[in-house]
Amino acid sequence: MKFIFKTVATVLLVLASLSALAYFLCLPRLFRGYKPKFNPTTSAVSFKVKKDEIEKNALLRLKQKADDMALYAKQNHFNNRYCFMVDMKIESGKKRFFVYNLKKDSVELSGLVTHGGGKTTADAIQFSNTPNSLCTSVGKYKIGNAYTGKFGLAFKLHGLDNTNSNAYNRFVVLHSHACVPNEEVAPLNICESWGCPTVAPAFLTELKKYIDQSAQPILLNIYY
pLDDT digits (tens, 9 = 90+) for 132-175: 999 999 999 999 999 999 999 999 999 999 999 999 999 999 99
Given a cut of 50, the residues of the chain with pLDDT beneath it are: 1-25, 29-43
Q: CA–CA separation, 223 vs 88, rounded Å?
A: 6
Please tell me the CATH code under which domain 2-223 is placed. Answer: 2.40.440.10
pTM above 0.85, yes or no: no
Q: How far apart are CA 105 and CA 175, in angstroms?
A: 26
What are the structural domain ranges in the chain? 2-223
Give pairs for 125-131: CB < 8 Å, separation 24+.
125/88, 125/224, 127/88, 127/163, 127/224, 129/159, 129/162, 129/163, 129/164, 129/165, 129/166, 129/167, 130/166, 131/166, 131/169, 131/170
Percent of the chain, pLDDT > 90? 74
